[in-house]
Amino acid sequence: MSDPADVAPVAPWIAAQTRTLIRQRGHAWLLQGPAGLGHYPLALSLASAWLCEAPTADGACGHCPSCHSIAVRTHADLRVLMPETHLLELGWPLGEKAQQEIDDKARKPSREIRVDAVCEAVEFCQRTNARNRGKVVLVFPAEDMNRITANALLKTLEEPPGDTRFILASQAAHRLLPTVRSRCMVHTLAWPDAQASATWLSAHGLPASQAAGLLRASGGRPALALQMAQAGQDAAVWARFPRAMAAGDALFVKDWSAAQLVDALQKLCHDLCAMAVGAPPRYFDPADLPAAAPLAELRGLGSWDRELRHTRQVVDHPWNAGLMTEALVGAAKMAMRAAGLGPPQRAPAARLA
C-alpha cells in the first residue's frame, strides 16, 4: 500500500526545509522538534531527494524510477527503521521473519524499534547500493530506540560506509544517547505560519471554521490539526470544552479516550496557567476560557498540571474508562473552582450566532 500523501506535493514549509537541507553536506542529520511539525514527511522528502535520479534544487523529481520505488515502498537503497506499528500504519513492509511471526500470531507488531531490524540495517549499510545514488537509513521516532538498539546503530553512525547517509527524526531528542546526538548535524523543524497552515488545511478539504479551531487545538501544528479532523474532532466541541470542564460535565467527554481527555486537560491547564501570568493562551480562544486566575492561584494550577502529567504516563493501563473520565473531569472542576475560575467568558449561545 502506498500513501498518496508521499507522491502529492509536500506542504510548503516541508518543501522549504528540504531545499535548505539538500544544499548542505553531512552524512547524518538529526531532525528534531516537538511532535506534529512533520518529522516523517521531512525525513522522507530528504531521503527521496538524496536518492532521486534527477533531483532539482527543490528536491526529488517525483517521477524517476527511484521516486516511484519510494512511493511504492520497495526502494532497495532505503531502510526505514520505525516501530512495527508505525511501519504497518504507513504502509512500509516488515522484514520477512517479523512478518511471518506476526502472520503466525506468534507475537503482536512491536511498538519499539526492534534490535533485529537495526542489525539488518547495519548489514544493509555494508552492501553495495543498487541504484548508484548511495543508500539512506531513516529512523523515526529515533527516541524509540532503546539503549541496545541505539548502541547497535552507533558504530555504523560513527563510521558509515562511504555511500550511506542517515536521517534520525526525533520528537524528544533529549532522550537520545548523547553519543548518537553528537554524531549528527542538527536541524530543528520550523513552525509553519498561520496563513500557510490555513491554506494547506483548506487544500485538504477543511472548512475555514474547522481549520482555525483545530489549528488552535493542535497548538499550531497543521498535520496534527488534519489528523484531529480525520479522527472526527470538531472545532465547536473544542471551543465548548473549557465550559464543560468548569461545570464538571463528564457526559460531554463520554466518547473520548482517556488519552484524548488527558491531552485536552493538559492544554486547558496550560492555557489557564499562561493567562494567570499574563501570557496569551495557546490552545483555546481567550473568549472560550474563564477570565484569568489571580497569580496567587498559580500554585494550585501547577499541582493539577503535575497530576495530569502523572496520569498521562499511566493512561494506557486498562483502567475502567467511565470511572477514569469521571475522576479526571471531577479533578478539573475542582482545580478550576479552587483557582477561583468562573464560567468561560463567551456564553455557549454566542458561538452559534
Which of 52, 228, 239, 332 binds Zn ion (CB under 5 A)? It is: 52
- Compose the 65-104 pattern: x for residues touching Zn ion by CB under 5 A, - for all others: --x-------------------------------------
Contact window for Zn ion (CB under 5 A) among 48-56, 237-245, 296-304, 305-313: 48-56
Kindly tell me which of 55 and 281 has the beta carbon lying closer to Zn ion: 55
**Which residues make Cβ contacts (< 8 Å) with residue 144, sequence separation at least 6?**
82, 83, 111, 112, 113
Q: What is the 3-state secondary structure (H, E, C) of 20-78?
A: HHHCCCCCEEEEECCCCCCHHHHHHHHHHHHHCCCCECCECCCCCHHHHHHHCCCCCCE
Among residues 11, 14, 64, 184, which is the contact residue for Zn ion, using CB under 5 A? 64
Q: Which 288-347 positions form the footprint of Zn ion (CB under 5 A)?
A: none
Strands 78-81 and 28-32: unpaired
Select 64 or 253, whichever has its Cβ closest to Zn ion: 64
**Which span (56-64, 88-96, 181-189, 289-297) binds Zn ion, by CB under 5 A?**
56-64
In the complex, what is the shortest distance from the CB of residue 67 to Zn ion, in angstroms, rounded to a whole number?
3
* C-alpha cell at position 211: 481549520
Of 64 and 215, CB closest to Zn ion: 64
Looking at the DSSP bridge assignments, the partners of residue 187 are: 31
- Least distance in angstroms from the C-beta of 72 to Zn ion: 13
Q: How far apart are CA 292 and CA 155, in angstroms?
A: 53
Residue 9 CB, nearest distance to Zn ion (Å)? 14
Q: Is 60 in the site for Zn ion (CB under 5 A)?
A: yes
Full strand arrangement of the beta sheet holding 164-170: 78-81, 135-139, 164-170, 28-32, 185-188
Number of residues that bind Zn ion (CB under 5 A): 5
CB of 52 vs Zn ion, minimal distance in Å? 3
State which residue, 55 or 220, has the beta carbon closest to Zn ion: 55
The stretch among 47-55, 86-94, 103-111, 312-320 that binds Zn ion (CB under 5 A) is: 47-55
Nearer to Zn ion, 64 or 169 (CB): 64
Smallest separation, CB 123 to Zn ion (Å): 26
Which residue type sits at 37? L
Q: Cβ 53 to Zn ion, closest distance in Å?
A: 5
- List interacting residues with Zn ion (CB under 5 A): 52, 60-61, 64, 67
